[in-house]
Amino acid sequence: MARRPPDPRAAAEAVFRSPRPAAPPPPAPAAAPGAREQVTLRIDVATLEHFQNGGRGWQDRINDVLREHARAEGGLGAEPRAVPVERLSSENDDGAG
């Protein structure tokens, strides 16, 4: 017959208090191509009105202007431009995939 430990409670606590190796942090999710991030941006009222007066898509137009400026400054590579879903066709298919 097996002997009981002298203090069963202490034996149980020792099992549950044993150090466990720390789990590695989950990998950062990869950003999808053409992914966008929501930000808060302070823009002059006149500049905002200029883009909003063009109707829907004013945020995309601001993004286009900022992207082109960054490329002109050498800050962005020649990454492909995202095509809106409603304009997808075989004509603008880059053949990747």
DSSP 54: T
Please indicate, yes or no, if residue 56 is contained in any of the structural domains: yes
Side chain identity, residue 18: S
pTM above 0.85, yes or no: no
Provide the number of structural domains found in the chain: 1
**For residue 70, is it within any domain?**
yes
Range of the domain at 50: 44-75
In a domain, 49, yes or no: yes
pLDDT tens, 70-85? 888 887 765 556 667 7
| Whole-angstrom distance, CA of residue 81 vs CA of residue 64 | 9
pLDDT for 97? 43
pLDDT of 18 higher than 80: no
